[in-house]
Amino acid sequence: MDSFLDQRFFPLIFDAISHGIFTIDADGLITSFNRAAEQMTGYARCEVMGKLCSSILQTELCQTDCPLKSSMHNGQRNEDREVFITTKNSRILPIAICTAALRDEDGSIVGGVEMFHDLRQVAVLRKKIENSYVFDDIVSKNHRIQQIFDTLPLIANSRSTVLIQGDSGTGKELVARAIHNFSPWRKEPFVALNCGAVPDNLIESELFGYKKGAFTDAKKDKPGRFALAEGGTLLLDEVGDLSRQMQVKLLRVLQEREYEPLGSTVTVKANLRIIASTNRDLARDVSRRKFRQDLYYRLNVVHVDLPALRERKEDIPLLVRHFIERFNHMQCRRISSCSERVMLALMRYDFPGNIRELENIIEHAFVVCTNSIIQLDDLPQHILVDESWKRERGKVTIRPLDDAEAQTIRGVLERCSFNRSKACRELGVSRNTLWRKMKKYRIAAPGSQQSES
């Protein structure tokens, strides 16, 4: 009787489950399809019965790394694999799937079952959380960058000259554009010039322009970058590479707010904001007489110092997702994520090229990746060599997300001078939790015991 009831109510139970469920036979043909699966995919049960599941769901894994086929092949379960399916009305739907093999009374595999649930709400929540770490395309949860986020709107509302310092690839131009985009002059031009990329004999004409006849090849007037940026923002990138002679001329423009194009006797007013950026330590260059002190102080009215990526490794998972989304859009791909081994390798790497290098690594992976998840072999060779060497040396033993958590906790403790009560308030955790985490990651206060008040 109990067996009869189980069989009688099975279809009702099958359709009452909120997760989508379908089964296939040994040939991959759909043998059952519940109501939730109908609602999520848009296909009626009668439309899919007896058809290949790959022709219905059309995931990026169907032809290369199908989890359901894998379960049927090795008898093992696959759980919480995130993929994208194409619904009947051609909409892309993110889902998480679980797969398992179906066996008969003799234990032989006769088919497979897949259960899946809609990840749209999770994606929306994830986007909301991640958006709190994004400021005009600058992605970070690092406390130093968050402090910069807090000050950028205030900087943007002034006309003061800004000096942005940071290693190559840390996003200096992104910060400059954010200042411009949040300013009252956002509709005016934003013009950038890489001072280190222009020869000394051309830099003056590039900045100030020239008049017809100023030199042999000057057939007509040409406006310089100052004129092109009039009313808006001029970014002088790598300003530390300017010659001493050009430093004098730039100083005059900053002091007088006027300049003369080459071949002109008429002074032109400069009504714009100047942002300078450099990867050099200008204060050190001033002490070594490689950069004019008076120009340094004219440029360094408002200072923004960008940390290297090796100092903000908690941002790597955010940046990886950001670049995956960007390249999916640019290249019409559907790569969902990277494997945990890939993330671990990236967390171990020191990134001498900073964020630009990470972006290039993900773009390289998009070129060679053949499925929906970036694997270790998809990374550039120098990352693999670095990872192999560090694995042999055994330098890192914690998981990538643990590594980010450890760095965050260590950073907060250092800011709070290892006062655990203050650190708990900032982190929003209990003292027991903080103590347990410190013990787990072997974080100890330097020197003598700190105040616990």
Q: What is the CATH number of the domain that holds 430?
A: 1.10.10.60
Q: In this structure, are 332 and 266 located in the same domain?
A: no
Tell me which of 268, 289, 305 is where a domain ends: 305
In a domain, 366, yes or no: yes
Q: In this structure, are 347 and 407 located in the same domain?
A: no
Q: In this structure, are 43 and 157 located in the same domain?
A: no
State the CATH number of the domain containing residue 25: 3.30.450.20
Residue 364 · residue 379 · CB < 8 Å: yes
In a domain, 138, yes or no: no
pLDDT, residue 82, reads 79
In a domain, 447, yes or no: no
> Cα(148)–Cα(175) distance, rounded to whole angstroms?
9
The residue to which tokens 């797969």 are assigned? 99
Q: In this structure, are 343 and 270 located in the same domain?
A: no
Q: In this structure, are 380 and 414 located in the same domain?
A: no
Range(s) of the domain holding residue 208: 145-305
Q: In this structure, are 158 and 192 located in the same domain?
A: yes
Tell me which of 286, 305, 324 is where a domain ends: 305
Residue-by-residue pLDDT tens, the chain, 453 positions: 444 445 666 777 788 888 899 999 988 899 999 999 999 999 999 999 999 988 888 776 777 778 888 889 888 888 878 788 888 888 878 888 899 999 888 888 899 999 998 887 766 666 666 666 778 889 998 999 999 999 999 999 999 999 999 999 999 999 999 999 999 999 999 999 999 999 988 899 999 998 876 665 667 888 999 999 999 999 999 999 999 999 999 999 999 999 998 888 889 999 999 999 999 999 999 999 999 999 999 999 999 999 999 999 999 999 999 999 899 888 888 888 898 889 989 998 999 999 999 999 999 999 999 888 899 999 999 888 876 666 655 444 445 556 677 878 888 888 888 888 888 877 777 787 888 888 888 888 776 444 443
Q: In this structure, are 385 and 405 located in the same domain?
A: no
Pairing of strands 92-103, 78-86: antiparallel
pLDDT, residue 396, reads 45
In a domain, 380, yes or no: yes
State the CATH number of the domain containing residue 359: 1.10.8.60
In a domain, 99, yes or no: yes
In a domain, 165, yes or no: yes
Q: Which token pair is 49?
A: 């019965």
Q: In this structure, are 164 and 116 located in the same domain?
A: no
pLDDT, residue 451, reads 40
pLDDT, residue 449, reads 44
Distances in Å between the Cα of 287 and the Cα atoms of 55, 67, 280 are: 69, 62, 13
Q: Which of 156, 154, 133 is nearest to 143 (CA)?
A: 133
Residue 64 · residue 17 · CB < 8 Å: no
- Which segments within 299-360 are labelled E, that is strand? 302-305, 337-338
Q: In this structure, are 324 and 213 located in the same domain?
A: no
> Cα(294)–Cα(15) distance, rounded to whole angstroms?
77
Which residue type is seen at 60?
Answer: E
Q: In this structure, are 179 and 296 located in the same domain?
A: yes
The count of structural domains within the chain is 4
Q: Is the dihedral of CA 359, 365, 366, 372 positive or negative?
A: negative
pLDDT, residue 174, reads 95
In a domain, 137, yes or no: no
Q: What is the arrangement of strands in the sheet containing 20-25, beginning at the earlier edge strand?
A: 30-33, 20-25, 109-118, 92-103, 78-86
- Which segments within 387-426 are labelled E, that is strand? none
Planar angle of CA 271, 277, 283, nearest 5 degrees? 110
Distances in Å between the Cα of 350 and the Cα atoms of 306, 382, 394 are: 16, 12, 16
Q: In this structure, are 168 and 265 located in the same domain?
A: yes
Q: In this structure, are 183 and 277 located in the same domain?
A: yes
In a domain, 283, yes or no: yes
CA atoms within 13 A on the CB side of 440: 15
Tell me which of 105, 121, 137 is where a domain ends: 121
- Which segments within 52-189 are labelled E, that is strand? 78-86, 92-103, 109-118, 134-135, 138-139, 162-165
pLDDT, residue 402, reads 64
pLDDT, residue 433, reads 80
